[in-house]
Amino acid sequence: MTPGRPETIADGIVRVLAPNPSPMTGPGTNSYLLGDRDLAVIDPGPAMATHLEALLAAIGGRPVRAVLVTHAHRDHTDLASPLARRTGAPILAFGDVRAGRSTAMEALAGTGGLGGGEGVAEGFRPDITLADGESLDGADWSLRAFHTPGHFGNHLCFVSGDAGFSGDLVLGWTTTLISPPDGDIGDFRTSCIRLRNMGLARLLPGHGPAVDVPADRIDTLLAHRLAREKAILAALSESDLSDIASLTMQVYADTPPEMHPAAARNLLAHLVDLCDRGLAEAVPRLALDARYRLARCSKET
């Protein structure tokens, strides 16, 4: 994977890697061109002039029917408007940055105590919204959009044939960040199961290489989340009240310290989910500075 170099990864699918590597993006953001005679561009990527020129070179003057965005993180959306202006194509997505949030997450966002918002493209608004299950067709391609919240409330996966463009819901090289109120562990589980049940042959993620056995990869991600949940419950059982910093040190002892800020966001997502399910309690309320304990009376048996 070389930034800026178009790479044909299947018939009618070209990947162009953006030059924005980081611990959170891996080798960088993957932009995809779908089609031959006319095109859909999926996740145009970060606002980098070199990446815009690389995309335009790969497009090669062919008409662009749509600029599609999987979700409203800046490393996926910021080049959408410049590319749309250069090609005349509309921007399509599920909605703005708050579209698709659960009622519970919207309520928590209103408290202002969860923080979050890492890399969110606050001003993002598509020209056209795509509903769950909606289809889009080009001259020699077609796809369907599926609402798959979890990593982000407005997250979409796109399916074309037996390939799925999985955005940041399912990555092959790492687990995804789930940071409330944009991220939701319960939605993540539901969306992963939905994607798994589609029986796709290949996933093309927003970062990193293709996933060639989607079912196995999704099973691994779900098992990882369950293991983290069990570790959090075990840590809570060892103390009457614990804060997020101490829980992160304990539960993510296998994670490099430089990744602990991101790990703490994932841990917070698990705590929100555990509190919602009645397995944990926040004192005095769900917030970054709250202290957490096992629920005195569990709702689950």
pLDDT digits (tens, 9 = 90+) for 248-301: 999 999 899 999 999 999 999 999 999 999 999 999 999 989 999 999 865 554
- Same domain membership, residue 123 and residue 99: yes
Of 155, 189, 213, the residue that ends a domain is 213
- Same domain membership, residue 138 and residue 69: yes
Query: How many domains does one find in the chain?
Result: 2
Q: What's residue 299's pLDDT? A: 57
- Same domain membership, residue 76 and residue 33: yes
161 Cβ contact list (under 8 Å, min separation 6): none
C-alpha 9/C-alpha 173 separation (Å) is 17
- Same domain membership, residue 136 and residue 99: yes
- Same domain membership, residue 175 and residue 209: yes
Q: Using an 8 Å Cβ cutoff, are 27 and 21 in contact?
A: yes
124 or 106: whose pLDDT is higher? Answer: 124
Q: Report how far Cα 294 is from the mean position of its chain's Cα atoms.
A: 29
Is residue 209 in a domain?
yes
Token reading at 94:
């599920």
- Same domain membership, residue 78 and residue 167: yes
Is residue 301 in a domain?
no
- Same domain membership, residue 277 and residue 251: yes
Q: What's residue 298's pLDDT? A: 56
Nearest CA to 19 out of 45, 58, 57, 56 is that of 45
Counting residues of the chain whose pLDDT is more than 70, the rounded percentage is 98
In the DSSP assignment, the letter for residue 120 is: B
Q: Which helix (H) or strand (E) holds 266?
A: helix 260-276
Residues paired with 90 in a beta bridge: none
CATH number, domain containing residue 119: 3.60.15.10
How does residue 203 score in pLDDT terms, banded at 50, 70 and 90? very high
Q: What's residue 295's pLDDT? A: 94
**How long, in residues, is the chain?**
301
Nearest CA to 217 out of 240, 192, 253 is that of 192
Q: Using an 8 Å Cβ cutoff, are 188 and 155 in contact?
A: no
Token reading at 139:
């001259």
What value does the mean pLDDT of the chain take? 95
Token reading at 275:
């509190």
12 Cβ contact list (under 8 Å, min separation 6): 34, 35, 36, 140, 141
CATH number, domain containing residue 258: 1.10.10.10
- Same domain membership, residue 171 and residue 146: yes
Of 193, 213, 233, the residue that ends a domain is 213
Is residue 300 in a domain?
no
Domain coverage including residue 23: 7-213
- Fill in the amino acid letter for 250: Q
Is residue 93 in a domain?
yes
Nearest CA to 9 out of 213, 212, 214 is that of 212
| 92-131: burial string, b at 16+ Cβ within 10 Å, e else | bbbbbbbbbbeebbeebbeeeebebeebbbeebebeeebe
Is residue 127 in a domain?
yes
Could you report the per-residue pLDDT of 39-57, keeping only the tens digit for each? 999 999 999 999 999 999 9
Is residue 65 in a domain?
yes
- Same domain membership, residue 197 and residue 119: yes
Could you report the per-residue pLDDT of 132-173, keeping only the tens digit for each? 999 999 999 999 999 999 999 999 999 999 999 999 999 998
- Same domain membership, residue 206 and residue 258: no
- Same domain membership, residue 139 and residue 229: no
105 or 94: whose pLDDT is higher? Answer: 94
Of 213, 238, 254, the residue that ends a domain is 213
Is residue 258 in a domain?
yes
- Same domain membership, residue 251 and residue 130: no
Is residue 299 in a domain?
no
Token reading at 42:
């999926």
Token reading at 152:
């982000």
Q: What's residue 110's pLDDT? A: 87
118 or 56: whose pLDDT is higher? Answer: 56
